[in-house]
Amino acid sequence: MARAAMTPSAAHALADAEPTPFWLADPDRPAARPALVGDETCDLLVVGGGYSGLWTALIAKERDPQRDVVLVEGAEIGWAASGRNGGFCAASLTHGLGNGLARWPGELATLEQLGIRNLDAIEEAVARYGIDCAFERTGEIDIATEPHQIAELKEFAEDAAGLGLDRHTFLDEDELRAQIDSPTFRAGLWDRDGVAMLNPARLAWGLKQACLGLGVRIYERTPATDLASDGIGMAVRTPYGRVFARHVALGTNAFPSLVKRVRPYIVPVYDHALMTEPLSEEQLAAIGWKNRQGLSDSNNHFHYFRITADNRILWGGYDIVYRYGGGVRAEYDHHPATYEKLARHFFRCFPQLEGLRFTHTWGGAIDTCSRFSAFFGTAHAGRVAYATGYTGLGVGATRFGAEVMLDLLSGERTERTELEMVRSKPLPFPPEPLRWAGIGITQWSMTQADTRGGRRNLWLKAMDKVGLGFDS
């Protein structure tokens, strides 16, 4: 099929966009810490300087200020998914009510409570450590753009009420367009308190500073290349040294795990986003959006969009780009065909913003697993813990994953470690070339479902039945 032609408005809007993540272009980006040279010893080594590793190091020190904690990061703190995402910090630990009901119906009420407590704890930490990340607890509206999606949103509202969740409000077309105006919107479901908007890179940098303030030793530009048992502890090799630790927590997510048996469970997929120039007062008035909620549509290939502190619009999603073999490489970060498609879709959603320009385009890898939400485990006789597979919801859920990893390393039974969600694993993805073929068929089928009133073909029904999915 031939690629759709660029419209003049989309081409003009993208003409001067910088191919770099908007959040990471911040002039206040902190300098990297020096690399590790020589050997270190510690009680806990955290591998990975994104949210997963930062929360683990921070909470470890909060639980026990005397605990000796080291964190190593292969590049710079927050440079990967933690500095490239849309800044949607959700309470959901299950990738939404629908996925939670399908997989853990008996404990979903507990998972929802734990998720809200986790989001509350993030908000409290932002305040306690003075993290300047534009945290706004605005909620998020899931939007129906097709008739069949209206009934689905009503059903989600009923499911939420059945779980005792009173924060979800169904909005008809007029009510929705009073919140944010687009001719493509038909209805919405507003989660009023379960999602916050924030500046993702500044959250990571703030967590870095908080960790340093509590005594965590952070080494950047220090990739962990090998993990091995060493007596009663572990040894992790880096390019210029080693770290000997009693325990290791792995927060490497989309990157290949140092525990090799975890690798078949994760597929790195690439997601992309655009950022506009700041909107004028007239442009803001044309679309409304006074309550600044995060927004996403209800398609399988969905868009997510939000407004920033300086009144730009971030517009991302839709395409899910998988590269044969599942590598994570810098050259995969950009996908011009996706940028063109996103720009066309933007002006279809907001025709009243014709003439607005994009200032930044970028992409990054997401750690996708077949159940769309994180899974957890240990290795090396309980001395190593991992949490991965957040599938696009890691801004909030990584803090919960950090708590789980620390619980598992302690060997104690907690409310978290007793969860079926924590004790179970997703199905692994098949090896290549079956993985490539399966993902391609799944993507085609999802597109067909979006254009056929949500009707899922036999392939998607089979995937649903065995619990093997693909999302971002």
Residue 460's pLDDT is 80
Please name the residues in contact with 412: beta carbons below 8 A apart, sequence gap of 6 or more.
none
What's the pLDDT score for residue 448? 84
Of the chain, the percentage scoring pLDDT greater than 90 comes to 85
Decide which of 47 and 463 is more confident.
47
pLDDT at position 247: 98
Task: Choose from 166-170, 257-261, 437-441 the range with maximum mean pLDDT.
Answer: 257-261
In the chain, what percentage of residues exceed pLDDT 70? 97
Spell out the domain ranges in the chain.
19-25+136-194+267-369, 38-96+201-265+372-423, 433-466
Higher-confidence residue of 70 and 469: namely: 70
Are 189 and 98 a contacting pair, CB within 8 Å? no
pLDDT of res. 446: 81
Instruction: Collapse the DSSP code of 286 into the 3-class scheme (helix H, G, I; strand E, B; otherwise coil) and give the result.
Output: helix
Cβ(138)–Cβ(293) under 8 Å?
Answer: yes
pLDDT of residue 461: 82
Q: What is the pLDDT of residue 207?
A: 98
Window from 83-97, 284-298, 321-335 with minimum mean pLDDT: 321-335
On whether the CB atoms of residues 265 and 373 are closer than 8 A, the answer is no
pLDDT(201) > 80: yes
Buried b (16+ CB within 10 A) or exposed e, 47-63: bbbbbbbbbbbbbbbee
pLDDT at site 464: 76
Looking at residue 5, what is its pLDDT?
58
DSSP sequence for 403-451: HHHHHHHHT---TTTTSHHHH--PPPPPPTTHHHHHHHHHHHHHHHHHH
Mean pLDDT confidence for 379-393: 97
pLDDT in tens, 208-219: 999 999 999 999
pLDDT of 85 over the 60 cut: yes
Residue-wise pLDDT for 2-49, tens only, equals 455 566 678 899 999 999 999 999 999 999 999 999 999 999 999 999
Q: What is the pLDDT of residue 470?
A: 61
Q: Among the CATH numbers 3.30.420.40, 3.30.9.10, 3.20.20.140, 3.30.360.10, which is that of 19-25+136-194+267-369?
A: 3.30.9.10
Residues 164-180, mean pLDDT to the nearest whole number: 94
pLDDT computed for residue 466 by the predictor: 75
Residue 404 scores a pLDDT above 90: yes
Average of per-residue pLDDT across 44-57: 98
Residue 423 pLDDT > 90, yes or no? yes
To the nearest whole number, what is the mean pLDDT of the chain? Answer: 94
Task: Give the least confident one: 239-248, 322-331, 336-345, 446-455.
Answer: 446-455
Check pLDDT > 90 for residue 82: yes
Structure confidence at residue 269 as a pLDDT band (50, 70, 90): very high
Q: How far apart are CA 61 and CA 84, in angstroms?
A: 27
pLDDT at 1: 38
CB contact set of 213 (below 8 Å; sequence gap of 6+):
129
Is residue 424 a contact partner of residue 111, using CB atoms and an 8 Å limit? no
> For residue range 230-262, what is the model confidence (pLDDT) as tens digits?
999 999 999 999 999 999 999 999 999 999 999
Which H/E stretch holds residue 58?
A: helix 51-63
Q: Which CATH number fits domain 38-96+201-265+372-423: 3.40.309.10, 3.40.50.2000, 3.10.450.50, 3.50.50.60?
A: 3.50.50.60
